[in-house]
Chains A and B, each alone.
Chain A
Amino acid sequence: MARLFIFAVGLLLFASVWSSSLNVDGSSKRLLVLLDNLGLRESHSFYFKQLKDRGYSITFKTSDDSSLQIVKYGEYLYDHVIVFAPSTKEFGGRLDAEVLTQFVDAGGNVLVAGSNTVGDVIREFASECGIEFADDKSAVVDHLNYDLSDDGQHTLIVASPNNLLSSELIVGQAKKNNLPFLFRGTGMSSDPENPLLLDYPATVGKRTLLISVLQARNNARVGFVGSLDFFSNDFFLSAAQPNNGKKSDKSGNQDLAVALTDWLFKQRGVLRSRNIHHYLKSDKSTPRFYTVKNDIVFNVQFDEFVHGKWMPFNGTDVQLEFVRIDPFVRTTLANKGGQLEAQFRVPDTYGIFKFVIDYNRVGYSHLYSATQVSVHPLLHTEYERFITSAYPYYISTFSMMAGAFLLSFLVLYHRDDLPKKKAE
């Protein structure tokens, strides 16, 4: 019961990945914010100011604006979209759930906030992402953890940061700061049979999700927060007074909202690999092909996008596989300041192999790299010249030759002792 506040991260199966040239890293910052009414700009001004300070170029529009379009002549006009318009039944202009889904397919990131009423088009987009909002006019009610300033319906709830996913990349310092969160809105549920869901809640009553985020196969990120008020100035500034706990002077909403937005819009948790080198251990040269049982060294440089810059990545659990249909060798790469290196011996099998790195961790973008090399069998001159176990045969052969040689001498020069002498 206490565990209402749950993060779920899932990977989506999109049928086709369109040109994912959008948002490879967080350097592009064109942001479109769709609002129910422009009054939200003031009531959520702290949040938007934080975004502006971080360098986003924000465009505010109402969700039924008839000039709404995110793609023009095949190119996307924005890199990120925030939808703070939960009661929208239909977007204006050329935007709808399908266009938004294609936007995510192309690599764009989206943040959607819900509330007590969730409009059709928001529901449609959410169901594309595997999330289902609760019915209209319902709210998440917690009779045990409500805030004292609630109006009696116990819809203003205080959630504990203990229920957050422990990924610093996604939630920032929120878990460490241990401040509770204020939440008023609707809940969501996600597909329980999705095998890629982490942190699956333990009982049926806890299946309500308040915040969920997803990272698609093309590394686009989508976030759903059940409460628009979560981002409001009121909640950022007010104190959280749970009925059963101690009062804290400030809710953790602001930190969490900003950290979440950072992660969603690719400012945190983005990886890239470069400088892949592989060479023989003995002379550090890269031959055109490797031979069976060579000792080889592989190294690659991994970078992580942190605070607007690419920094060396310091994870120690990156694995390298040497694959020919099945992996023959699997080792962990040792990390020296972002430079990952591994040494191993090529197996006793020839063929076409690939060096495969497939790094998939919570909060980080999925990184897959494959480098193909060929491995040749030994040349016939590369085998050992004399085989130890064949020495008896070598010895016997030469002894035969010596014996025959000696015999021929005997046969030629032997003289019988009989009176009848044989000449030679």
Chain B
Amino acid sequence: MSQLGQVAGILGKLNNEYQTTTPKKLKLIDAYLVYVLLTGIVQFAYCLLVGTFPFNSFLSGFISTVGCFILGASLRIQLNKANQSTFNVSPERAFADFVFAHVILHLVVVNFIG
């Protein structure tokens, strides 16, 4: 019981730290990532319910959410100043990568969705 209390305490502290120390831009990206995650979960649940009939459509929709999540996450990593030591790229470069990769991703997704 006390362990549960400990976990709750840790989570509360995590949340607190997050709210105070994270820059707003990164919080926006985090919100976007949550949205993408939810869309992915909804799609997967729909496929489980209805069946895999147009399997290519399901795959392309799901991969689009997964891809967007990954690209958003990598943008966040690269824009976080705390990571400057390992990821030494300028924000412009990070953004350019983000856009370029998105273009390719959506091209492929729309082609595969049928």
Partners in one complex: yes
* Complex contact B110–A390 (CB within 8 A): no
Kindly state whether residue B60 has any CB partner on chain A within 8 Å: yes
Q: Report which A residues bind B (CB closer than 8 A).
A: 387, 389-390, 392-394, 396-397, 399-401, 403-404, 407-408, 410-412, 414, 416-418, 422
Contacts of B109 in A (CB 8 A): 397, 400
A120 to B11, CA, bound (A): 112
Binds A, one of B1-9, B12-20, B42-50: B42-50
* Complex contact A410–B110 (CB within 8 A): no
Residue of B nearest to A391 (CB): B57
Can you report 8 A-B residue pairs in the complex whose CB atoms are below 8 A from each other?
A387-B53, A390-B53, A390-B57, A397-B113, A403-B35, A407-B72, A411-B79, A416-B24
Contacts of B42 in A (CB 8 A): 392, 396
* Complex contact B54–A416 (CB within 8 A): no
Expressed in whole angstroms, the minimum distance between the Cβ of B75 and any Cβ of chain A is: 7
Residue of B nearest to A387 (CB): B54
A407 to B28, CA, bound (A): 8
* Complex contact A390–B98 (CB within 8 A): no
Expressed in whole angstroms, the minimum distance between the Cβ of B66 and any Cβ of chain A is: 10
A411 to B99, CA, bound (A): 11
Expressed in whole angstroms, the minimum distance between the Cβ of A174 and any Cβ of chain B is: 66
* Complex contact A400–B36 (CB within 8 A): yes
Expressed in whole angstroms, the minimum distance between the Cβ of B94 and any Cβ of chain A is: 9
* Complex contact B61–A393 (CB within 8 A): yes
Taking each of B32, B61, B71, B75, which has the highest tally of chain A beta carbons within 10 Å of its own beta carbon?
B61
Contacts of A417 in B (CB 8 A): 24
Q: Mark B91-114, 1 if CB is under 8 A from A, else 0.
A: 100010011001000100110011
Q: Mark B61-104, 1 if CB is under 8 A from A, else 0.
A: 11011001001100100010000000000010001001100100
A387 to B65, CA, bound (A): 20
A399 to B38, CA, bound (A): 12
Contacts of B29 in A (CB 8 A): 407, 411
Expressed in whole angstroms, the minimum distance between the Cβ of A87 and any Cβ of chain B is: 81
